[in-house]
Structure 1
Amino acid sequence: LLIAIVSTVRGEPSATAFGRRVKHELVYRALSVALIALVALFLVGFLLTLTTDVGFVDILFESVSALGTVGASTGITPQTDAIARIVLIGAMFAGRLGPLTLVLALAARSRPVSQRPAVESIRIG
């Protein structure tokens, strides 16, 4: 993603690194994984904030640790209720599967379409 950002800032039409061009599909996949992980982190942190009366930094640490399946903890688990523990278990399971794998497994399979929508250029930024 950093390579794509640098290439965009430089005004290059595609992401290039070390004299090689990176496929657009790989950039989209990397962006998808990063955004899915950030949304999952936000969701887990938000749910833990609603159900637990613990500091935000501890909740953020537990959320990142659960999604990353790191195994590190600040020791707040005994202070949490059953709902927060279920959220953490779900986060650990989702982190073990991986964000892209989980979304692709849950997404409906689309059939190939013979017609494609027209391409439109929009302003960004």
Structure 2
Amino acid sequence: MKELAIGGVIALFIGIDVYVRARANRPPDRLERALALAWLIIRRTLCHGMAALMTALAGGMGWAVLDRKAPAGNLLGSLALVVFALICVHWGRFGRGYSTSALDDKPVHERRRRRCGWRHQSRTVAAS
């Protein structure tokens, strides 16, 4: 039963992707906007959660080295976790573009944001 549930979730995600890509040249309807927003929330929750977990693990590994309970070689693993955490933050924020590099992630996200009507998170700084 568990395998069926996992397969259903995977099929649902594939179905959402196929539906959204098939409608790429048409104005988005309510269903597409709702699916895109749900995917945005799921993606950000999972990616940022994984980044937080990896950062905590990296901090724990670093602390163990500083406390002399682990070998200094663990710092390399800690560094790798931090790098993967940064990648997860990037994917959580912008998603993935269409190429294999990260160069088109932000422009593709901006197009999706405008298309689906997601609000833009302003980064205004209060004047001091």
Shorter-chain TM range is: 0.3 to 0.5
Q: Which has the higher contact order (CA 8 A, sep 6+)?
A: 2
| Larger helix proportion of the pair | 2
TM-score (norm 2): 0.31
TM-score (norm 1): 0.32
